[in-house]
C-alpha cells in the first residue's frame, strides 16, 4: 500500500471532525446546565390560595410565575387554570402594598418537573420579609403553585448567547481546518505530480542519451 506523502497529513481532517463534535457536546452541555441554573434562580415557591411569608434579601425587579406543572414536598401540582385568583403582596414591617404589574412580555420555562410562565412583575425597594396572599372571589379552591425570582430573562439570554458563540466558534474552527487541509493537500498534490513528471522526463532523456 502506497503511503500518502502529500502534506499536511490527513490527521487534520480527523482533528477538524473532533473539534466539531466536541463543540456540539459543549453546546448541549452549556444549554442544559445553563437552563437548569437559570430556572434555579426562581427559587421561592408558594401554594395559593393562602397566605405565606417570604423574604427578599435583595432589592430590584422580581417576577411571579404561575407554575402549570410543579412538584412541592413530594406532591404534584398540574393545572392551566388560575382564572379568578387575586394576589396581594405587602412589606410586613411597613405594611406597604407592592404594585403587581402584568408582564408585558411572557417568559416561560419547562425543565424537569417544572413548567411555568410569567404573570406579574414587581419591584422590591427594601429587603425584608413580605406577605403574599392569594384568594378567589368565588368558591373556587383550585390549588396552584406560584414561583418568585429575579434575573431569569437576563440569565437565559446570557446562556443562549454563550451557546451561540460556542456553536459558531466550533463550527468555524473545524471548517477552517478542513478547508485549509483540503486546499493545501490539493495544491501540494499538483506540485508533487508536476515534480514527478519533470523527474520522469529527465530520466527518460538521460536514458535516451545513454543508449
**pLDDT number for residue 207:** 59
| pLDDT over 60 at 118, yes or no | yes
Distance CA 183, CA 175 (A): 12
Tell me the fold of 42-150.
Jelly Rolls (2.60.120)
> Mean per-residue pLDDT for 151-172?
89
Neighbours of 114 (CB within 10 A): 21
pLDDT 10s digits, 172-193: 999 999 999 999 888 888 877 7
Q: Tell me the pLDDT band of 2, cut-offs 50, 70 and 90.
A: very low
Of the listed ranges 93-97, 108-112, 193-197, the least confidently predicted one is 193-197
Reported residue count of the chain is: 211
Distance CA 197, CA 4 (A): 18
> Mean per-residue pLDDT for 100-127?
91
Show me where the domains of the chain are located.
9-41+153-196, 42-150
pTM attached to this predicted model: 0.70
Of the listed ranges 18-22, 111-115, 195-199, the least confidently predicted one is 195-199
| pLDDT over 80 at 205, yes or no | no
pLDDT 10s digits, 67-101: 999 988 888 999 888 888 999 999 999 999 999 99
pLDDT 10s digits, 7-48: 778 888 999 999 999 999 999 999 888 887 778 778 899 999
> Mean per-residue pLDDT for 118-131?
95
Tell which wins on pLDDT, 204 or 8: 8
**pLDDT number for residue 168:** 95
| pLDDT over 60 at 1, yes or no | no
Amino acid at each position: 500500500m502506497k503511503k500518502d506523502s502529500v502534506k499536511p497529513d490527513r490527521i487534520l481532517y480527523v482533528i477538524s471532525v473532533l473539534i466539531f463534535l466536541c463543540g456540539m457536546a459543549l453546546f448541549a452541555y452549556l444549554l442544559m446546565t445553563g437552563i437548569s441554573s437559570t430556572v434555579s434562580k426562581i427559587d421561592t415557591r408558594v401554594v395559593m390560595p393562602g397566605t405565606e411569608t417570604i423574604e427578599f434579601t435583595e432589592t430590584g425587579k422580581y417576577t411571579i410565575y404561575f407554575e402549570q406543572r410543579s412538584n412541592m414536598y413530594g406532591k404534584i401540582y398540574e393545572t392551566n387554570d388560575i382564572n379568578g385568583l387575586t394576589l396581594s403582596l405587602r412589606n410586613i414591617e411597613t405594611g406597604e402594598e407592592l404594585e403587581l404589574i402584568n408582564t408585558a412580555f411572557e417568559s416561560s420555562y419547562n425543565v424537569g418537573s417544572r413548567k411555568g410562565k410569567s404573570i406579574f412583575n414587581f419591584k422590591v425597594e427594601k429587603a425584608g420579609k413580605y406577605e403574599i396572599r392569594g384568594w378567589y372571589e368565588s368558591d373556587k379552591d383550585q390549588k396552584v403553585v406560584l414561583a418568585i425570582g429575579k434575573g431569569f430573562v437576563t440569565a437565559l439570554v446570557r446562556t443562549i448567547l454563550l451557546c451561540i458563540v460556542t456553536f459558531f466558534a466550533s463550527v468555524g474552527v473545524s471548517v477552517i481546518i478542513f478547508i485549509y487541509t483540503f486546499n493545501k493537500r490539493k495544491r501540494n498534490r499538483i506540485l508533487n505530480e508536476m515534480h514527478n513528471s519533470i523527474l520522469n522526463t529527465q530520466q527518460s532523456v538521460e536514458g535516451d542519451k545513454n543508449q
